Amino acid sequence: MAEHSHGSMDVRPQERTFEGFIWLVGRAVAVIILLLVLLALINA
């Protein structure tokens, strides 16, 4: 079996994917909150 040294894997692609996910979730939460506020303002 191949030897594995802990911490030697390049995780930059995973970090970029995670950053993109966090960015998307943050924007989605902002849009949802904005929609809820707008619904409250128009008494829906």
What's the helix, strand, coil split of the chain in %, to 5?
70, 0, 30
| Residue 5: inside a domain | no
* pLDDT surpasses 70 at 42: yes
- For residue 17, give its domain range: 13-43
| Residue 2: inside a domain | no
For residues 20 and 25, what is the distance between their CA atoms, to the nearest angstrom? 9
| Residue 7: inside a domain | no
- Indicate yes or no: pTM above 0.85: no
| Residue 36: inside a domain | yes
| Residue 22: inside a domain | yes
For residues 29 and 42, what is the distance between their CA atoms, to the nearest angstrom? 20
Q: How confident is the model at residue 1 (pLDDT cuts 50, 70, 90)?
A: low
| Residue 17: inside a domain | yes
Domain count, the chain: 1
